[in-house]
Structure 1
Amino acid sequence: MILSYKGAFKTLLATAFLACAIGQSASAAEVNGIKFDETVKVAGKDLKLNGAGMRTKFILKVYAAGLYLTEKKTNTADILKTEGPRRVAITFARDVSTDSFGESFMTGINKNTNEAERARLATQFAKIGEVFGMLDGMKKGDVMNIDWIPGSGTLLTMNGKKVGDVPSEIAAYNAMLRIWLGENPADASLKRAMLNAPNT
């Protein structure tokens, strides 16, 4: 079963809403002029910047992404087993259409999950995709946060404002993380940077 962009991004409406405390502190890292805070607060917990890097495509800088965890890790398997909230913070380095981002998202899912996983999580991917579908494209400088909130699910914010949330299970969020950290990542150099493990 191969998930399609249209199927995952335009079929279901996200209906759950939840409030999440989001904080920030002094800048700790800079990627091509884009700054990432050393710590952020998600669901009342302080998360540490694990690593950050630039997503490039055909030499074009698309976005910078940072991974936040309760404790720093350098191994994908360990990260996927981590308890507590998590965050992938994305700052766009150029304008990106919703369709382009959605297609890349689903390509990453398909490359890093097997058929059984895609079949079992298809409805949750569709709900997550519907939230992305609420966006009217991304502009240079826009900041997107994709948070895992234990007990609630996945929460998406854009420029500090909630776009939507999905009561998905951790397996669906882990599948999203594997877009960047899986065996077939969207960008191998970005994976190494987010893991803060140059030799990975």
Structure 2
Amino acid sequence: MKSLLRQLLLISAVTSAMLSAPLAAKTLADVSLADEIILSEQALQLNGAGIRSKFFMDLYVGSLYTPSPSQTLDSVLNAPRVAIRLNIVSGMITSEKMQDAIIEGFDDATDGKPQAIQPQIDAFMALFSAPIAEGDQFTLEAVKELGVTAYKNGEKQATVEGETFRKALLKIWLGDKPAQKSLKKAMLGD
């Protein structure tokens, strides 16, 4: 009887410890993703995340944070505030390669007509002029009717204003011609 009582107490203690422990964050390519981030004193929830790869090499983990679950581009564009986070997982990414990829992304996002937002694109590209290293983290906070505030490794870099620019930036990963279709699907929680 004492043995049974000890087993029940042990099971109870283990169960209690498991229920009170925080849930482990999602991990992709050895990057631990926060379930929630706070930007400009606003909480955003992890909507989805995936890995951007090229030639079978993982380049970065892309994650989307939203105020509520969003499974379509329209719901993301209409949200008052969202964030895309890029965690660099490859030393092969350089500032030049990142700039080239983003320029190509803006070209795709604007159907080959980026001229209307070229000054904003140029300002945004300056954020990627410093060296990029494996382990760097870029957070792009997109606020409706304001624009995009960029952070590198948690430090605010600059804000690029403009609603058209904000939408084009989000379309780089979530639009009709995304950087990678499987990454788009994962970020939208599919």
How would you bin the TM-score normalised by the shorter chain? 0.7 to 0.9
Matching of residue 48 in structure 1 with residue 45 in structure 2: yes
Change (3 A) 1:40 1:26: farther
Alignment RMSD (CA, Å): 1.8
Question: What letter matches 1:82 in structure 2?
Answer: A
Counterpart secondary structure, 1:165: strand
- Unpaired runs of 5+ in structure 1? 1-24
Moved more, 124-133 or 100-109: 124-133
Pairing partner for 1:184 from 171, 174, 177: 177
2:83 aligned partner: 87
Separation in structure 2 between the aligned mates of residue 75 and residue 43 of structure 1, nearest angstrom: 24
Pairing partner for 2:120 from 119, 124, 129: 124
Q: Please give the TM-score of this superposition, normalised by the length of structure 1.
A: 0.77
Counterpart secondary structure, 2:76: helix
- Deviation, structure 1 residue 98: 0.6
**Aligned residue pair count:** 168
Separation in structure 1 between the aligned mates of residue 88 and residue 165 of structure 2, nearest angstrom: 23
Separation in structure 1 between the aligned mates of residue 109 and residue 46 of structure 2, nearest angstrom: 24
Separation in structure 2 between the aligned mates of residue 28 and residue 58 of structure 1, nearest angstrom: 28
Change (3 A) 1:152 1:178: closer
Separation in structure 2 between the aligned mates of residue 35 and residue 164 of structure 1, nearest angstrom: 25
The structure whose RCO (Cα within 8 Å, separation 6+) is larger is 1
Are the equivalent residues in 1 in contact too, given 2:145–2:163 (CA < 8 A)? no
When Rg is computed on C-alpha atoms for both structures, the one with the higher figure is: 2
Counterpart secondary structure, 1:184: coil
Question: What letter matches 1:196 in structure 2?
Answer: G
Percent identity between matched residues is: 23
Pairing partner for 1:163 from 131, 140, 157: 157
- Deviation, structure 1 residue 124: 1.3
Separation in structure 1 between the aligned mates of residue 24 and residue 97 of structure 2, nearest angstrom: 30
- Deviation, structure 1 residue 26: 6.9
1:154 aligned partner: 148
Is the helix fraction higher in 1 or 2? 2
Counterpart secondary structure, 2:25: strand
Are the equivalent residues in 2 in contact too, given 1:43–1:149 (CA < 8 A)? no
Separation in structure 2 between the aligned mates of residue 177 and residue 81 of structure 1, nearest angstrom: 11
